[in-house]
Amino acid sequence: MTSPTPKPPVDPVACLPTRLDAAMRAGIEARVQVLGRELLATSLAARPSVVSPDYWAEQAGEWVLADDELKVRLFRLVDCMPMLDDPAAVDRHLREYLDDEVLEKLPAMLRVALKAARSGLLAPFAARTVRAAMLAQAKRFIAGTTPAEAARAAVLERRRHRVFTLDLLGEAVTSDAEADAYAAAYARLLEELPAAAAAWPHDPLVDDGPAGPLPRVNVSLKLSALDSQFDSIDPAGTAERVLARLRPLWRLARANGAQVHVDMESHATKGLALAIFKTIAREDEFRDWPHCGVVVQCYLREAAHDLMHLAEWVRQRGTPIWVRLVKGAYWDYETTHAQAAGWPEPVWQEKWQTDACYEAATTFVMEHADLLRPALGSHNLRSLAHGMAVAEALGLDRRGVEMQMLYGMGDAEKEAVTAAGWRMRVYMPYGELVPGMAYLVRRLLENSSNDSFLRAGLVRQVPPERLLAPPRAAEPTAPAAPAAVWSAVFTNEPLADFAIATNREAFTHAVARARTACGTPALVPVVIGGERLEPADRFVRRDPSAHARTVAEVCAASPADAGRAVETARASLPAWQALGVHRRASILRAAAAIMRTRRFDLAALQVFEVGKPWREADADVAEAIDFCDFYAREAERLLAPRRVDVPGEENATTYLPRGVAVVIAPWNFPLAILCGMTTAALVTGNVVVMKPAEQSSLTGLRLFEILREAGVPAGALAFLPGRGEEVGPVLVSHPATAVVAFTGSRAVGLAINTRAAEASAAPGSRLIKKVIAELGGKNAILVDDDADLDEAVVGVVASAFGFQGQKCSACSRAIVLDHVHDAFLARLAGAVRSLRVGPAENPGTRIGPVVDQEARDRVHSFIEIGTRTAATVAAVDVAPLAQTGWFVGPHVFADVDPTGPLGQNEIFGPVLAILRARDFDHAIELANNTDYALTAGVYSRSPARLRQAAEHLAAGNIYLNRGITGALVNRQPFGGYRMSGIGSKAGGPEYLLQFMVPRTVTENTMRRGFAPPAPAGG
């Protein structure tokens, strides 16, 4: 695998070339100070007075922001407020978020008022008032609900000599229908507004560019809203779909004399958005059109690189574009997301770096103003003054440069910029409040950040010399913060970041190699005691996406082989145990290192052997690596002798391996689960007979080879592919088998348990076999009536249909509260119908095939029951694909009988049952009413209900406000109870104990009244 990310630049200034010499730079800095002070003075004069509600809003903000906990609670309360449409719900949320502890932190006046609001007859009235007040605050940032309202707000801006760019707020686009609706709304705007705009009086300050009048209508749009499957893993497919919706909009804009600007969102989609912009802007139809533009976010370390490429690209295009430089609105998200994923943060980590990068980018864009027309989107008067000074120094025509700010923020500053004679464009979002909440929370975060210029300048009144100081590293004042606690414990192997082109390319090559290898299908042998056996009894494994393709020919071990494998392993037990835990742990670490070097090849094999889509296959390999590293650490921790010595007596407790471990693994995590069970047994000193699933024997062989290469001796590990029903019983009941680690179906798990118990009780048996079994689930996600439906739809879809629903953790029931049932269902249905079904080797595939013919038939039988007994909400037809592979389209059924087969049985396929709940208690009751207790989840914004779910849901893994699959080693130890399994959680601190027996040695050290001193710390 290639390195996951290119090395990010370290110096935000030096990474962009400039023609300015030192003297010019000094002159510019002097001018920045003058312009900056002028801007500050004008804006301070124009700021809200103490009699203005805006002033009090700012002050209230300051009280809130003094306390992190309060800030989090208030933001969360604001976030869910628009969803709450009855006073009782508002009242309940107010009480939950603003409990007594929180209220004590507020200024006395506010505390008394809120306490009054929470009690007595006035409570419903007060709840309504608080909601209205909060929404009014939120609406400050939104220019209206409808295009007409937004247009009216735009006209008001023009009266203040400011122009606008309109942005339609939208919910996360989860379906093709929503993407169509988003495009249609823009089309309407571009059809209707330009005609009205033609009648507006001409304003030379804002309407004239250097080469004539500028478009009066200017829109900003987000490309991710033009495709429900917008994903960097599939640039070609995504671009095709986005362009199909984007071209008509550009045509309309061009024909009607409007301008279109492409916004930038997360770093994960930045490369794709830029590529799509460049594609359309170079198409014959648009390459001579100057009224288009794109955003560059200067908080990104890649900003300099992107700008230089953009300039070069425009040179080839031959017509300039607008470039809006912003710092970036997702700093907290990018930082948290990267840290949680174990990726390098794509954004600068110190504010001065972003500011410095912004200034370097400003200079660069202005030096290339013939190619990149500068638009500075910032509320930072230092940043803007710098831009003005550079423009002056380079002699740019002011009409070719513009300053931009957000609606509802920094109005005094807008006035200052306009008064200074520069064109000010206001970014005006409009639309419904519920889908607009993500935008609002970004604004709240920005306004409340300690690093915000607006807050420093206008609210905290930091002195001008500090506000206008050039960005540079602060003198270190305190020692660097200690490393975060979580990373000190265990660092998970990062998943591949498919937003990075080199990763996509490397994976594509690995897929090509795996496909070619299928041309001469590998033979999977039986290996016992290092001896390779190739019995004639064999079966063929086919690619589930294209069953004409053979992936492997698998030798089937016989029952006699099974017996021999156990005996040979037993003979190697003493030597393997004697190696000691540190040596065994180092072998696991070596195996992890080998897997890292073959990472994408191991994943690509799964693509063909079990039909796993790219991301899921990559995650499986990462998890296998985690198991090796984690169990190595855990074994060393557990096997350190525990001593409790007292004078005259020494006690040492340690662990012994159980003996021969039989590992019987499933195909759905073909590397990770096999690897986890095997390495757990090995590192604790057991010898192992490894039985891979029939469907994933070749992946099993690759793991076996890696473990051998890493140093596991031939005798300590046998590899026994074959038919479970033939070799399984022999392996389990063999008198030398001490432990069976199994993951798979409930029926087989229970049969193994019975057989192991019977064999333990058989005459001559000298041990009671230990069975560790991780079985199925009938997992539910609850959707509360205040849930964020954007997130709930995405989370349910990912949990129910990821790897075609073939995970024991998969969501197979969504239990939705009556109040939001229909709205949720409508969005879910659209999202499911929009999922791309196809061969697993295509990067854009969201739903691949199920694992084999038997699985397909079983899933079909449940679909047939659903069609007969429930309401079909989504039924995706896979007609042509079904000819060549084992495909089943995703299905969703509503009005499902909770006690019937769809409500109770594990389906292990892309079928989701929807249950309607009267209230939250009922939802929990429904969720718990199955034989299983594996995973469960809830989407809710009520702290009390989240607590209730955490306490009362019957599941081994409970997820709040996120999907329910993808447990990470150590972070989410995985496993359930009831019929979901016996044993403790994989990837958790107790897992290894199951493979060992504890033994305590006590020695009386007293001899005739004389005892050695107790060891220190004993």
Ligand X SMILES: Cc1cc2nc3c(=O)[nH]c(=O)nc-3n(C[C@H](O)[C@H](O)[C@H](O)COP(=O)(O)OP(=O)(O)OC[C@H]3O[C@@H](n4cnc5c(N)ncnc54)[C@H](O)[C@@H]3O)c2cc1C
Q: Which residues are catalytic?
A: 774, 808
3-state secondary structure of 475: coil
Q: Considering beta carbons, is residue 255 or 462 the nearer one to ligand X?
A: 462
Q: Which of 231, 215, 213 is nearest to 223 (CA)?
A: 231
Torsion from C-alpha of 877, 878, 880, 886, nearest 10 degrees: -150
Write down the least CB distance from residue 168 to ligand X, Å.
13
Write down the least CB distance from residue 381 to ligand X, Å.
9
Q: 872-893: b or e for each residue (b if 16 or more CB lie within 10 Å)?
A: ebbbbebeebeeebbbbbbbbb
**Pair 179, 226: CB distance under 8 Å:** yes
DSSP 8-state class, residue 203: -
Residues contributing to the site for ligand X (CB under 6 A): 263-264, 295, 297, 299, 324, 326-331, 347-351, 353-354, 377-380, 383, 404-406, 427, 446, 449, 451-453
The encoded tokens of residue 450 equal 């300690």
Write down the least CB distance from residue 252 to ligand X, Å.
21
Q: Which of 664, 851, 852, 855 is nearest to 748 (CA)?
A: 664
Q: Considering beta carbons, is residue 261 or 584 the nearer one to ligand X?
A: 261
Q: Which of 801, 793, 779 is nearest to 613 (CA)?
A: 801
User: Which H or E run includes 660?
Assistant: strand 660-664
Write down the least CB distance from residue 329 to ligand X, Å.
3
User: Which H or E run includes 825?
Assistant: helix 818-833
Cβ-in-10-Å burial (0-12, 13-18, 19+) of 476 comes to: exposed
Q: Considering beta carbons, is residue 425 or 821 the nearer one to ligand X?
A: 425
CB atoms within 10 A of CB 535: 13
Write down the least CB distance from residue 426 to ligand X, Å.
8
**Pair 635, 683: CB distance under 8 Å:** yes
Q: Starting from the edge strand earliest in sequence, which strands make up the sheet with 538-543, in order?
A: 522-524, 546-555, 538-543
The encoded tokens of residue 542 equal 């086919």
Write down the least CB distance from residue 261 to ligand X, Å.
8
The encoded tokens of residue 263 equal 């916004």
Write down the least CB distance from residue 906 to ligand X, Å.
43
Write down the least CB distance from residue 264 to ligand X, Å.
4
**Pair 840, 885: CB distance under 8 Å:** no
333 Cβ partners below 8 Å, 6+ apart?
266
Q: Considering beta carbons, is residue 100 or 350 the nearer one to ligand X?
A: 350
The encoded tokens of residue 677 equal 């069970």
Q: Considering beta carbons, is residue 230 or 453 the nearer one to ligand X?
A: 453
Q: Considering beta carbons, is residue 82 or 429 the nearer one to ligand X?
A: 429
Q: Considering beta carbons, is residue 452 or 905 the nearer one to ligand X?
A: 452
Q: Considering beta carbons, is residue 75 or 539 the nearer one to ligand X?
A: 75
Q: Considering beta carbons, is residue 348 or 893 the nearer one to ligand X?
A: 348
Q: Considering beta carbons, is residue 355 or 841 the nearer one to ligand X?
A: 355
User: How many CA atoms within 13 Å lie on the side-chain side of 898?
Assistant: 18
**Amino acid at position 979, single letter:** M
Q: Which of 864, 887, 874, 849 is nearest to 793 (CA)?
A: 874
Q: DSSP assignment of 771-807, as one string? A: EEEE----EEEEE-TT--HHHHHHHHHHHHHGGGG-S
3-state secondary structure of 569: helix
Q: What is the Cα–Cα distance from 842 to 554, expressed in whole angstroms? A: 26
Write down the least CB distance from residue 223 to ligand X, Å.
11
The encoded tokens of residue 890 equal 């995703």
**Pair 325, 293: CB distance under 8 Å:** no
Angle at 662 between CA 656 and CA 668, to 5 degrees: 125
Write down the least CB distance from residue 22 to ligand X, Å.
25
Write down the least CB distance from residue 266 to ligand X, Å.
9
Q: What is the Cα–Cα distance from 889 to 856, expressed in whole angstroms? A: 10
**Amino acid at position 93, single letter:** H
Cα first-last separation, the chain: 48
Q: What is the Cα–Cα distance from 411 to 470, expressed in whole angstroms? A: 24
783 Cβ partners below 8 Å, 6+ apart?
789, 792, 796, 814, 815, 816, 817, 820, 824, 938, 939
Q: Considering beta carbons, is residue 245 or 324 the nearer one to ligand X?
A: 324
Q: Considering beta carbons, is residue 1 or 329 the nearer one to ligand X?
A: 329
Torsion from C-alpha of 694, 696, 700, 702, nearest 10 degrees: 140
Write down the least CB distance from residue 387 to ligand X, Å.
11
